[in-house]
Structure 1
Amino acid sequence: MPKCPACDKVYLAERVTSLGKDWHRPCLKCEKCGKTLTSGGHAEHEGKPYGNHTCYAAMFGPTKGFGRGGPESHTFK
């Protein structure tokens, strides 16, 4: 029987499948901020889930935190 990778327990009524594993819905959280994620609504890095447009982009995106639409996106001369 599959076990949640976060807590090692199994509750079939609360199961969501993501990253090739079965999780409890409340255990599928962003590794950086702890926000509960939806199955398929997040990104993965080294087998760990991260929020798509927030934490993952800031930590591992091409600009690594810069140029995401905030004031740091613009350079004034």
Structure 2
Amino acid sequence: FAAERVTSLGKDWHRPCLKCEKCNKTLSAGSHAEHEGKPYCNNPCYAAMFGPKGFGRGGAESHTYK
């Protein structure tokens, strides 16, 4: 396990177990996004699920701000 261990999000993972919650793509430590303690690939999953709403769908009036 020590040779396959990666530390990300404050936890230790088996290298093959660090996967995007949405698309299941294997991730590398430090090169992914996190939401509520779960790993996501930066593109397209994290951007599509948690990025700015309305991006690329029209003018500024289509954006929502929180």
Structure 2 length normalisation: TM-score?
0.80
Unaligned residue ranges in structure 1 (runs of 5+): 1-10, 68-72
For CA contacts below 8 A with separation 6 or more, give which structure has more relative contact order.
Answer: 2
Pair 1:12-2:2 in alignment: yes
Unaligned residue ranges in structure 2 (runs of 5+): 60-66
Q: Deviations over 1:11-69 (max 9, x none)?
A: 111000000000010000000000000101100000000001210000000126x42xx
Structure 1 length normalisation: TM-score?
0.69
Q: How many residues align?
A: 59
1:53 aligned counterpart, secondary structure: helix
Measured in 2, the distance between the counterparts of 1:63 and 1:14 equals 37
Measured in 2, the distance between the counterparts of 1:32 and 1:53 equals 11
Measured in 2, the distance between the counterparts of 1:31 and 1:53 equals 13
Structure 1 segments (4+ residues) deviating >2 Å: none
Aligned-pair identity in percent equals: 76
32, 37, 43: which one pairs with 2:33?
43
Q: Root-mean-square deviation (CA), in Å? A: 1.6
Measured in 2, the distance between the counterparts of 1:40 and 1:62 equals 22
